[in-house]
Structures are given as structure tokens and as C-alpha cells.
Structure 1
Amino acid sequence: MKKFSFLLIVILMTFNSCKEIDCCENPPFINLKFTHNWNGVPLTNLDFNELKFTTENGEKISIERLRYLVSNINLTGFNNYVLVNVGENSGTEISILDVKDGTYDLTFHFGFSNQDNLDGEYQLLNSVSFDVPAMLGGGYHFMQLDGKYINNNNQETGYNYHVIRAVDRTDPANLKFEDTSFEVNLGKVQIKGNTEIEVKVNIAEWFKNPNLWNLNELDTNLMGNFEAQKMMSANGKSVFSLGEVSQ
């Protein structure tokens, strides 16, 4: 299994230069593990490309690609970002060293805030086509969720549930933006020596809460849909929850 490691001496992806820190012989080891489910049923890349999930609105769907961006995980003490790619099983486990024992509020950001969503800034994201076209204001995707669904005509058709910063293109020469990224607060976690923290990700929530999603009305061309982006942001706030914390 591929892992993205947040070693505080050499952080895999940072906004700022790494800072020199003290090191001990056996520093505490924190493993942040993202697990995925559909309303409680485990979901991995082995479940891709099959029409095996049903949305709250009743559409049968498949998942062909699922990757999303999290940033500023507070346990690291650095600005950072990780691209979680469920299809490639990468970025799903993050190793963090040198976290002192204690109680922490576990928070991270879904996507990039406006101040960090800088066009062309992050070479890794550029290299995997995670950028947003200039006509939509540039910057980066927050999530790409793609697959097929059975529409009202009983035909299999594609959907592209792509989450970005909301952009109002009423006047293409004067784009207006709304920051639709958001902070995820999973509450307090107790760190005592080596600790594994599970972050549970319920993909079904993207389609139901608080906005019941009708794929027959909103399946593709969502990136330039200002209202759809605000709806997706609202739905995303119930996706993440704290799972098992073990030492």
C-alpha cells in the first residue's frame, strides 16, 4: 500500500520551507488513516467500475475515479496538502512524527482556502491534472468523483461530481468567487505514544445531506455551476467523521 508520509524533517508537500527541529531516537509515531465507506459499507478501489451503489435519490451509480484534496492537517504544525487517490490507493495513510503526547483538536481543511488556492503553485497537482482551467479562475480541484449512473430513461450515462471554488461567470470578464472549501473538525483525540487515528469518509453523504442530489438534473458540467458548487460544499460537511483511535 502506498503511503504519503509527513516526516517533519522532509515533508512530502509543503507550502513553506521545512524548519529545523530537534529529533529523538524513538519519536512518537502517528498514523492518520482515511477509510472510505458507502453508508457504513466499506469501499475500496476493488468496488470501482460496478453499478453497486444507490444514492439517496434512488440512482444506481458506479465509481470510476475518486480523489480529493486535504490540507493544513493541524497535527503536523506545517502548512501542507495531501492528494488522497482512492483508485490508486495512495495518500490514504499519512505518517506524522514528533507529535508530543497530549490532547489535540484534530482538524484539517477540505480543498484549499482562497489564500492557498494559488494557480500553478503546486507542481504535484499540476502533474496529475488536478488544476482548474483559467476560464474558471484557475487554482485546483477539491475533489474529482466520476462514474456512471442509470438515468430516468434507464440508460447508463456518465457523471462528473467535481468540486472546486465556486465561480460566478455571469460576466466572464469579471469573475466572482466564493470560497467553498471548509474546515473539518473531528473533535479531540488523545495522543499517547504511537497512535493510529481513523478518519471515516462516507461517500454517500455527497449526494444527500443537506441537499438531495438528483443526478438526472446535475450530472456533468458542474464546475462552472455556481449554485451547484455551493450545494456540494454544504453536502461535504457531513462526509468526514472520527473513527477508531488506537495506541
Structure 2
Amino acid sequence: MKNSFIILLALLLCSCAEDSDDNSTASYFAFVGLEFTHNWDGAPINNSDFNQFKYTNNNGESMSISKLRYVISDVTLYDEDNNIKNIYTYPNLVDVSDANSLSFGVFDSIPIGNYGNISFRFGLKDSQNVSGFYTNLDSEDLNIPNNFGGGYYYMQLEGQYFVPTANDSIDAVEIDYQFYTNRAVDTTHIQPSRDTSIKIDLGPTTITDNKILTIKMNVAEWFKNPNTWDLDVLHSDLTPNYNAQIMMNENGQNVFSLDN
């Protein structure tokens, strides 16, 4: 599942072993990696769960997931006095359908010890959110058309939901949804654009030898807190919908947590 990540970790371990033969201080430093897991209120989500109506949102709609991918940037490590010690700015794409994208290294040669906080950004802050700037995102077709504000999508979550019918003899209708998050842009130019990326503070952590931090996304949170999401009203054309993007930003504040 994590072949490329395991190879990277093995190389770093070998490097540390070689350094220790020279009586260096390599043993006091660590490699730090991130891995991402996904769940629906605790029930694991993997690509094997795709295209199945396994989830019910807070609005009572039965849902499936067929795509879930999102951008992570600005991974930052702080000391216990809240001073930035290291920052990894380049964005990575986490894609549930691609096992190799679910984990990656962010720091090496980090001093072992206690840290006050580790954070990352969901999406890209405006100063970095420039179309054509990141080849890895360009190759995944994450660019937003200029007439919708340009830049990149923060997340693409797709699937279907059931619309029940009043007549029991008629099957419920399955409708596609596209829950896309991006910078909030008012195409009427009445309201200024708004950076709706989210800085996620995971809290204090202890860095030990070759530390792997597991970060959980509760997908159900996107649809319930503080805004109960009605897919029958907001299931498509969300990219140019300024108010919908604000609502998604509000719902995304508690989606991620550190698995201790």
C-alpha cells in the first residue's frame, strides 16, 4: 500500500545507520512522515468502499463516494514556544484511489523531542494558489477556469445520493453530486474573493525515531457542522457559488484530527 513511502523510510534508516558508525549525532534526529486515513463517523473509507450507498448524511440522504482527493500544503512544525522550526510548503495531492498518495515524508533531520504543534493547510493559501504553478496539480487536472477565479481546487468529492419518491412503487432516483471546494469567488464581482483554505492545527506531538503521524479525515463532517448540507439543493455547480464555498469552509474546520 505504501511502497514508495516504505522505500524512502528504508533509505533514511540506512543513512542513519551509516552515520552512527562515524559517531555522529544522527541518532538524535528523526524522519517525520504523514499518512492520511478516512472515515465516516468512525467507519473506515477506502477505495474498495467506492460506488456503494454506505453513508447517510445529517440531512438523511443516502450517499455513495466515487472520488475523494484533496490538496495538502504548508506542513509546519512548531517548538513548545510556538516558534516555527520547519515548514514544508510544496502541495501534495491525497487521493483515496491511489494508495501511494496516502503517505509521504515531510521532514528529515528533525531533532527528537517535544513540539508544541504541527499544522498543515487544507488547500492553498491565496499567495500560492496560482494556476499553472504546480506541475503535480496541473497533471491531475485540478485547475479552475479563470472566469471562476483561477487557481486550484482544494478538494474534489464526488458520488451519488438517493432522492426518495412519494410512490413506493417507483424506485428512488440516483443523482450525481460534486462537492468541490475552492477559493470563494463572486462572479458578479459584488463581493471580494475570499481565501477559504483551512489551516489545521493538530496540537502538540512528540517526535521520536522515524515518526509517522496519522491524520484522520471524517468525511461526514463536511455535511453536518455547523451547516446541515442539503444535497438536493447544493449538489453541483458549487465552484462559482460564493456562499456555498463559505459554508464548506465553515464545515471543514473540524474534519481533520491527529490519530494518537
TM-score when normalising by structure 1: 0.86
Q: Quote how far apart the aligned CAs of 1:33 are.
A: 1.3
- What per-residue deviation string (whole Å, max 9, x for no partner) do you get for residues 110-144 of structure 1? 10001110121111111110111111111000000
**1:78 alignment partner, one of 76, 80, 88:** 88
Residue 104 (structure 2) pairs with residue 91 (structure 1): no
CA gap of 1:168–1:199, structure 2 versus 1, over 3 A, is same
User: 8 Å contact 1:3–1:91 — kept in the other structure?
Assistant: no
Fraction of identical pairs, as percent = 40
Cα offset, 1:160, TM superposition: 0.1
Question: Contact 1:180/1:233 (CA < 8 Å) preserved in 2?
Answer: yes
Matched residue, 2:47: 45
CA drift of 1:176 comes to 3.2
Match of 1:33 in 2: 35
> How far is the alpha carbon of 1:102 from its aligned partner?
2.0
Please report the RMSD computed on the Cα atoms of aligned residues, expressed in angstroms.
2.0
Query: Could you list the runs of 5+ residues in structure 1 that have no partner in the other structure?
Result: 8-22
Matches within 5 A, 1:160-199: 160-171=178-189, 176-199=192-215
1:1-247 residue pairs with structure 2 within 5 A? 1-2=1-2, 28-75=30-77, 77-95=87-105, 96-104=107-115, 105-153=117-165, 154-171=172-189, 176-244=192-260
Q: 2-side partners of 1:107 and 1:89: how far apart?
A: 23
The letter of the residue matching 2:129 is N
CA change 1:78–1:30 in 2 (3 A) is closer
Partners in 2 of 1:152 and 1:83 — Cα distance? 35
Which stretch shifts more, 26-35 or 228-237? 26-35
- Helix, strand or coil: the match of 2:100? coil
> Aligned-pair distance for 1:90?
3.4
| Separation in structure 2 between the aligned mates of residue 79 and residue 124 of structure 1, nearest angstrom | 14
* Maintained 8 Å contact 2:30/2:207: no
Q: Greater helix share, 1 or 2? A: 2
TM-score (structure 2 length as normaliser): 0.82
Q: Counterparts of 1:51 and 1:62 in 2: how far apart (Å)?
A: 4
Could you tell which deviates more after superposition, 182-191 or 91-100? Answer: 91-100
SS at match of 1:30: strand
Q: Secondary structure at the match of 2:99?
A: coil
On the 8 A contact 1:67/1:83 being kept in 2, the answer is yes
Q: Report the count of equivalent residues.
A: 226
State the AA in 1 paired with 2:121.
H
For structure 2, list consecutive stretches of 5 or more residues without a partner in the other structure.
9-23, 78-85, 166-171
Q: Which moved more, 1:91-100 or 1:114-123?
A: 91-100
| Alpha-carbon offset, residue 77 of structure 1 | 2.6
Aligned-pair CA distance for 1:146: 0.3
CA distance in 1, matches of 2:100, 2:59: 30
